Amino acid sequence: MTQQARRRDAAGTRRALLDAARHRFATNGYAATTVRDIADEAGVNVSLISRYFMSKEGLFEACLTGAVDEFDRSVTPGITLDELPRTMVRHLADDSGKTRLLLLLRSSGDAAADQVRRNVMRNFAERLVAATGLEADDALLRAEFVLATALGLVLMRTVIGVQPLAAADQEDLVTPLGDVITGLLRPTPRAS
Amino acid sequence: MTQQARRRDAAGTRRALLDAARHRFATNGYAATTVRDIADEAGVNVSLISRYFMSKEGLFEACLTGAVDEFDRSVTPGITLDELPRTMVRHLADDSGKTRLLLLLRSSGDAAADQVRRNVMRNFAERLVAATGLEADDALLRAEFVLATALGLVLMRTVIGVQPLAAADQEDLVTPLGDVITGLLRPTPRAS
DNA sequence: CGGATAAGTAAACGGTTGTTTACGTCACAT
DNA sequence: ATGTGACGTAAACAACCGTTTACTTATCCG
């Protein structure tokens, strides 16, 4: 009943392990995920995790750096303030986009991984400020507010599953998120 | 901190276990927290967890329902839209307030606890809508946006620790959060 | 071919987990 | 004062964790 005719493809199984691990780590967290869970979902033997990624923590770091690369690449193109809501919602609704963001808040307890996480978020906030040209002295803080909203949104929709947010259509999220973003990042929010 | 001459006080040690568990579960998550961690932080023996709370999961549920009660009680008084930002920030900066909110997103994998979590958040959103008198058809969704922002804020400040958000003063958060809330919940967000 | 090597598996390893058991020991009513 | 029951502890328990080992088998180059 096991893999009767399994093709021998190192790169393929490595990718399968990465996919399964990303999914499990993102949805269930690092500690709650066992290496046997991952191996089963990938359909391979447990020991291959140690072989290809050194350890469970090595596999997690591979997931994290992969997510970081995709994250950076997906937000690298110039962001305009009025297109930002729709762009963000598209990433938040996309399955791999959700996984990416959720992985950024999962922790294995490793200090280096935590630093990577902080750098990615800080970097995103800085690029957001640069793209919007906001000059307020708390611009960076406000950009991180946007990121916090996105993070909380994915959490409440995916992990917690509170309605009606969880079942909301992609289009239903664009306008409210737009209100949040303009509320936070419009050039002169307040008089004086 | 001194457990040398431990008084025999069932209610006291029960409370100590609850405090330690709340702290550990909120900051490290359910799976990453061991019963021995909790017992050590409480300064008592491990077996008392089973005695007083049946199991680790029973202890978690006790933490959760306790947090739910405090949560409901703290937001029960009438909320006004203009005082909401400062009130929320006060709760988000308060240590027990953070713990309360973080516990709401930690999961033990138990379905009943997950339902409790969803109900609390839904309930908060509904009360927020009632308090603001918002009549938009996506009012509930927008109220949950506010909650998502609060959740993400606590996460990024406490768990992830990204700067400058993590080190931001309580007062620095009021105005941006106010912009988010008015952006989401003001009666007529858009011209038409 | 055929054998060398990479790919995959099953089983076992020590350590840790949550939980239970057996046993001290303090407090309080009588 | 005293024994009885609640409170607390140490140790043992089976099950599970991540990891390693020993082994089988497919693949490919000569």
SS3 B78: coil
Place of tokens 């808040």: A105
Q: Identify the pLDDT of residue B5.
A: 44
Least confidently predicted of A66-75, A182-191, B99-108, B122-131: A182-191
CA distance B44 to chain A (A): 25
Dihedral, CA atoms, A80, A81, A86, A92, nearest 10 degrees? 100
Question: Nearest nucleotide, C1' to the C-alpha of B50?
Answer: C19
B158 close contact with A: CB closer than 8 A? no
Determine the distance in angstroms separating the CA of A150 from the nearest CA of chain B, rounded to an integer.
Answer: 8
The percentage of chain B sitting over the pLDDT mark of 90, rounded to a whole number, equals: 78
For B71-83, what is the mean pLDDT? 77
* CB-strand contact A41/D, under 7 Å: no
The Cα of B6 is separated from the nearest Cα of chain A by a number of Å equal to 33
For B95-109, what is each residue's pLDDT tens digit?
999 999 999 999 999
Establish whether the linkage from the previous residue to A187 is cis, with ω within 30° of 0.
no
**Given a cut of 90, is residue A74 above it in pLDDT?**
no
- pLDDT above 90: percentage of residues in chain A: 78
| CB-based contact A148 B156, cutoff 8 Å | yes
Mean pLDDT of A104-113: 95
Asked whether A72 and A100 are in contact (CB, 8 A), the reply is: no
A83 pLDDT tier (thresholds 50, 70, 90): confident
Contact B145 A163 (CB under 8 A): no
- On whether any CB of chain B is under 8 Å from the CB of A118, the answer is yes
Residue A63 has pLDDT above 80, yes or no: yes
Does strand C come within 7 Å of the CB of A15? no
Locate A86 and state its tokens: 């729709």
For residue A98 the two structure tokens come to 């959700």
Distance B50 CA to D17 C1' (A): 21
Nucleotide with minimal C1' distance from the CA of B52 is: D7
Query: Are residues B17 and B53 in contact, defined by beta-carbon separation less than 8 angstroms?
Result: yes
Residues of B in contact with A150 (CB under 8 A): 152
Q: Is A16 on the interface with B (CB under 8 A)?
A: no
| CA/C1' separation B145–C6 (Å) | 52
Within an 8 Å CB–CB cutoff, is residue B12 touching chain A? no
Distance CA B121, CA B19 (A): 23
* Axis-axis angle for helices A84-93, A95-103 (nearest 10): 90
Question: By CB neighbour count within 10 A (0-12 exposed, 13-18 middle, 19+ buried), where does A188 fall?
Answer: exposed
Q: Chain-wide mean pLDDT for chain A?
A: 91
Whether B88 and B177 have beta carbons less than 8 Å apart is answered as: yes
Predicted TM-score (pTM) of the model is 0.92
Q: Is the separation of the CB atoms in B129 and B75 below 8 Å?
A: no
- For the record, the structure tokens of A139 come out as 């611009």
If one compares A4 and B152, the residue with the highest pLDDT of the two is B152
Question: Closest Cα to residue A98, out of A178, A152, A145?
Answer: A152
State the pLDDT at residue B77.
Answer: 66
Contacts with B73 (C-beta within 8 Å, 6 or more apart), sequence order: none
pLDDT at residue A93 in the model: 93
Across the interface, of B144, B160, B162, the residue whose CB is closest to A165 is B144
Q: What three-state secondary structure class fits B188?
A: coil
Q: Which of A68, A117, A179 to probe the B interface (max B CBs under 10 A)?
A: A179
Instruction: Give the pLDDT band (50/70/90) at residue B132.
Output: confident
Measured between CB atoms, does B118 come within 8 Å of chain A?
A: yes
Residue in this structure with the two tokens 């992969």, named with its chain if needed: A66
Spatial separation of the C-alpha atoms in residues A118 and A95, rounded to whole Å: 23
Q: Which of B118, B152, B163 sits opposite A160 (nearest CB)?
A: B118
| List of chain B residues whose C-beta atoms are within 8 Å of the C-beta of residue A125 | 162
Q: Which long-range contacts (CB under 8 A, 24 or more apart) does A32-41 make?
A: A32/B29, A32/B30, A32/B31, A32/B109, A35/A59
Which pLDDT tens digit goes with each residue over A138-160? 999 999 999 999 999 999 999 99
Is the pLDDT higher at A50 or at A70? A50
Say what the pLDDT of residue A109 is: 94
Query: Which of B179, B182, B184, B192 best probes binding to A when mutated, by most A CB atoms within 10 angstroms?
Result: B179
Interchain contact, A149 vs B145, CB within 8 Å: yes
Check residue B79 and give its pLDDT: 75
Q: Does A113 touch chain B (CB under 8 A)?
A: no
Token pair 């009012």 is at which residue? B139
Q: Is A149 on the interface with B (CB under 8 A)?
A: yes
Output the pLDDT for position A1. Answer: 35
| Chain-chain contact of A151 with B156 (C-beta, under 8 angstroms) | yes
Q: What is the 3-state secondary structure (H, E, C) of chain A?
A: CCCCCCCCCHHHHHHHHHHHHHHHHHHHCCCCCCHHHHHHHHCCCCHHHHHHHCCHHHHHHHHHHHHHHHHHHHHCCCCCCCCHHHHHHHHHHCHHHHHHHHHCCCCCCCHHHHHHHHHHHHHHHHHHHHHHCCCCCCHHHHHHHHHHHHHHHHHHHHHHCCCCCCCCCHHHHHHHHHHHHHHHHCCCCCCC
Residue A5's pLDDT is 45
What separation in angstroms does the CA of A157 have from each of A152, A163, B40, B124, B153? 8, 8, 35, 16, 16
Closest residue to D17 (CA to C1') is A34
Residues A86/B150/B190/B139 CA torsion (nearest 10 deg): 100
**B192 has a pLDDT exceeding 50:** no
CA nearest neighbour of A20 among A72, A56, A71, A51: A56
Highest mean pLDDT among A127-141, B46-60, B129-143: B46-60
